[in-house]
């Protein structure tokens, strides 16, 4: 599974980090969440497209598969809202067969308020499901760094210092 996480992180060009679900032995139910953004850095007005990929990596059917937004914040810890996301929290699929996967797509347009604080935007997700043996879960965060961009005629470079923009 680590190989898949690394491949997706490289493909997406973003930071994808996460914790695995509780330790299970071979053959015990398990679910994997890989949540990533389509870019590593973003500036004001750019759209960040997120994908949450959910995989039943066990040999057992999983039911009640739910994607839960743990947090979605900028560097000032302001709660953000996705511009495009499935409606409401809750079950995204009734069941996932062994080896089956599903995807959820979300997006967010970076605003001036996000860039003012610099830093990054963090989208933290959790997936939960039920198996005949009990509950399984996984968590993963997608991190997008707020890079150089224009803010009201001032250009911020990668060091966070500013200069007047002549354009």
Give me the mean pLDDT over the 111-133 stretch: 91
How many CB atoms sit inside 10 A of residue 57's CB?
Answer: 21
- Predicted confidence band at 30 (pLDDT cuts at 50, 70, 90)? confident
pTM of the model: 0.73
Q: What confidence score (pLDDT) does residue 6 get?
A: 54
Q: What confidence score (pLDDT) does residue 93 get?
A: 81
Distance CA(8)–CA(17), nearest Å, equals 11
Q: What is the pLDDT of residues 49-65, one digit of tens each?
A: 999 999 998 889 999 99
The number of folded domains in the chain is: 1
Burial (0-12, 13-18, 19+ Cβ within 10 Å), 108: buried
Average pLDDT over the chain reads 77
Indicate the SS3 state at residue 40.
Answer: coil
Distance CA(143)–CA(130), nearest Å, equals 28
Kindly state the percentage of the chain with pLDDT values over 70. 68
Q: What confidence score (pLDDT) does residue 156 get?
A: 40
Q: What confidence score (pLDDT) does residue 116 get?
A: 85
Q: How far, CA to CA in Å, does 167 sit from each of 22, 59, 72, 116, 155?
A: 53, 59, 33, 20, 10
Partner residues linked to 50 by β-bridges: 37, 106
Give me the mean pLDDT over the 99-113 stretch: 93
Q: What confidence score (pLDDT) does residue 17 get?
A: 42
Token pair for 125: 């997700």
Give me the mean pLDDT over the 82-87 stretch: 84
- Give the DSSP H/E element, type plus range, for residue 107: strand 101-109
Q: What confidence score (pLDDT) does residue 92 get?
A: 81
- Predicted confidence band at 23 (pLDDT cuts at 50, 70, 90)? very low
Q: What confidence score (pLDDT) does residue 86 get?
A: 76
Q: What is the extent of the structural domain holding 8?
A: 2-164
Q: What confidence score (pLDDT) does residue 144 get?
A: 95
Q: What confidence score (pLDDT) does residue 105 get?
A: 93
Distance CA(35)–CA(138), nearest Å, equals 11
Alpha carbon of residue 93 to chain centroid:
19
CATH number where 131 lies: 2.60.40.1930
Give the torsion through C-alpha atoms of 69, 158, 163, 146, to 10 deg. -10
Question: Do residues 121 and 146 make contact, with C-beta atoms less than 8 angstroms apart?
Answer: yes
């Amino acid at each position: 599974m680590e190989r898949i996480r690394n491949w997706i992180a490289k493909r997406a060009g973003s930071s994808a980090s996460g914790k695995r679900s509780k330790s299970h032995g071979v053959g015990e139910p398990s679910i994997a969440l890989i949540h990533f953004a389509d870019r590593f850095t973003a500036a004001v007005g750019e759209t960040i497209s997120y994908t949450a990929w959910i995989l039943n990596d066990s040999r057992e059917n999983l039911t009640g598969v739910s994607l839960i937004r743990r947090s979605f914040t900028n560097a000032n810890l302001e709660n953000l809202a996705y511009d495009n996301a499935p409606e409401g929290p809750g079950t995204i699929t009734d069941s996932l067969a062994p080896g089956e996967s599903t995807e959820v797509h979300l997006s967010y347009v970076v605003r001036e308020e996000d860039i003012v604080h610099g830093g990054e935007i963090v989208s933290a997700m959790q997936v939960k499901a039920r198996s005949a043996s009990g509950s399984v879960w996984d968590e993963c965060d997608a991190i997008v760094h707020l890079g150089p961009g224009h803010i009201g005629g001032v250009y911020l470079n990668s060091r966070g210092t500013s200069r007047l923009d002549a354009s």
